[in-house]
Chains A and B, each alone.
Chain A
């Protein structure tokens, strides 16, 4: 690994700082819960701080919703369902959703900055991916609200009622959009619980719902921790639970609702295989591998965290990857040139550190970027492990961080067998110029989403979700409506 390619640097080329101004967003000192169209008094709740993981400074305090707060929110949602939302025509629901889409577009820069501050992700991603996709999601499902009879779920599909929705911290606003838009389009009302470490864009979304004049109680947003989510899952007034998060918590939730009639969809963890054949287009493939694992600091359930590369090109691919990893710009998430931002929390950083250390312990070869990490905040230098065996923890467990495990294969059969050798089944990538083989492999992969010669593509029209322990149910597309409709 010491030839010219590996040694090459950008040389004299450096970038001046290009920070996006944080002045566009103003957070309140403290937020109450958004219930029945209004924010409750923050002083009436226990509260906790949400911080900027890049600086460890407090951004705001948010309310910790108790079980009785959850009860109030669910009752507000029920009342709204029975008195207003279920009385509206699909065309009327559509108009509210179009308004929300437009308001997100109008306030997109503010939302992007807020997301980057609260989450630690690069502004380039929050600005170009999270926020535009959130708006697009509302726009897309707005169009379904008055066309449900054409969606393939019967002549008169009806709503389920009150949906309890629990979302993760990796794409806070986007996950809120993925949950709310189809639920509202299908005619449900919602109680949404944002993640403990990233509540702020959901609270800005609450302001947007007010600007849209959405009827009170149709969407209720309650911040809190695991106890809040637990109370929501257990509440007898909830007709459906939609959860995105870890397989561990998903399993608990499934157990908790097992003896009830609540609907359930789960979008859980993954250990995505990115399969590279020897005829893959090299430059696109390297960028795709990088994007597959380092996008959003690897805090992506469908991340391509296992690279399966054909043996004949393995040395060359590894050499190029290590060089590229060293060129990733790690640092200030608000800098428009930043590729990799901050790890979202101290707890997540500890888990990544633990698993990476285990990778070395089990004998894998570690390459870590030589980038300089900031003093304050939570950071992890992009890392590639070579010589990984299928039995290694870093090949089996979801790291949810910027760590790539490289394995090799010789034949398409072996690639498929290794890719499927996991309890997960969310997403895979296949890189080859031979379309027939890509489709042959895709047919055999046990995964909900398969990307060919690309990775981490998302679109409101495209269903997303897993098989096996990556969960069940789909978000996005016509298929995403099913999760919120009473389909007989």
Chain B
């Protein structure tokens, strides 16, 4: 009889509206490590799960945006604090998912956490960098403010399981959007772990919703959804992006195309609108 302790294994679930449900469809699919060994039976979200997540995001976005930028920055920073204390767990899953050596996966996680900190600092700077007063020729005080697009659908990068995921979700959230994200189909567990951390970092329910499942099945539903304001397609290949961008055009969505997300401010700008106010000046 072995005295070695058997680990307690976890069921990886979806994150919708602050809860961690299985797919309403009851489906799961097997995810393997890069080595080919069994990693988890993750939830296989359905199109109904996508629609539920969009409803949750829509409801959460208004209250998230109504918080002060300072508060939103602190919440995102809190996520970095939570991730820092679970670095090893994240690194283990990044290593398994991406087939990295321990050191490389630790560095990847460190970069991802630092990226969360970077976005935390953006929340109360966006207005100052992208907004401003406009010297119109007339007796008006005229100023432009950046405001969030609303609900953003993200098709996460299929290869980079955490670093690219953090960029894709933190940028729109820092800008005041709510997000529905489809995690990497074959490498979803680091994203699910990060989702779990939002539960202890004061991220309001529904601001970040994470779905695992078949990208080919779910992405068209997300991109065609009439109550989604923008989609980040930077994580999918060109051919599929063309197809999804066509669906997104149906309700005039903002689209971040592949190859655009790497520019340092492109992600922040992608899901920001400009709201301009004219106010009369006179005695």
Contact = CB atoms under 8 A, between A and B. Distances in A.
Contacts of B70: 136, 139-140, 460-461
Nearest to B118: A146
A91 B115 CA distance: 9
A310 B281 CA distance: 20
Interface string B59-79: 000000000011001100100
Q: Is the interface of B mostly helix, strand, loop or mixed?
A: helix
Contacts of B282: 436-437, 440
Interface in B103-126: 114, 117-118, 120-125
B283 A139 contact: no
B240 interface: no
Contacts of B121: 94, 142-147
A144 B281 CA distance: 34
Interface in B256-278: 265
B212 to A, nearest CB: 31
A222 to B, nearest CB: 30
A137 B280 CA distance: 33
B73 A150 contact: no
Nearest to A150: B129
A321 B239 CA distance: 71
Contacts of A95: 117
A139 B129 contact: no
B279 A94 contact: no
A478 B129 contact: yes
Given A435-B279, A436-B282, A440-B282, A98 B125 contact: no
Contacts, number: 66
Contacts of A436: 279-283
B168 to A, nearest CB: 19
B128 interface: yes
Chain B interface extent, by class: 20 to 34
A217 interface: no
Contacts of B122: 143, 147
B246 to A, nearest CB: 34
Given A150-B129, A436-B281, A436-B282, A139 B73 contact: yes
Interface in A127-167: 136, 139-140, 142-147, 150-152
Interface string A173-208: 000000000000000000000000000000000000
Q: Is the interface of A mostly helix, strand, loop or mixed?
A: helix
Contacts of A440: 281-283
A151 B128 CA distance: 8
Nearest to A413: B283
Interface string B127-147: 111000000000001000000
B281 A143 contact: no
Given A91-B114, A91-B117, A461 B124 contact: yes
A312 interface: no
B75 to A, nearest CB: 12
A437 B282 CA distance: 5
A143 B124 contact: yes
Interface in A442-485: 443, 460-461, 477-478
A42 B165 CA distance: 53
A460 B74 CA distance: 14
A439 interface: yes
A151 B123 CA distance: 14
A478 B141 contact: no
A139 B71 CA distance: 11
A13 B121 CA distance: 47
Nearest first, the 6 A-B pairs at minimum CB distance are A143-B121, A436-B280, A439-B281, A478-B128, A436-B282, A439-B141
17 contacts: A91-B114, A94-B117, A95-B117, A139-B70, A139-B74, A143-B120, A150-B129, A151-B129, A435-B279, A435-B280, A436-B280, A436-B283, A439-B280, A440-B282, A460-B124, A461-B127, A478-B125
Interface of A: 91, 94-95, 98, 136, 139-140, 142-147, 150-152, 412, 435-437, 439-440, 443, 460-461, 477-478
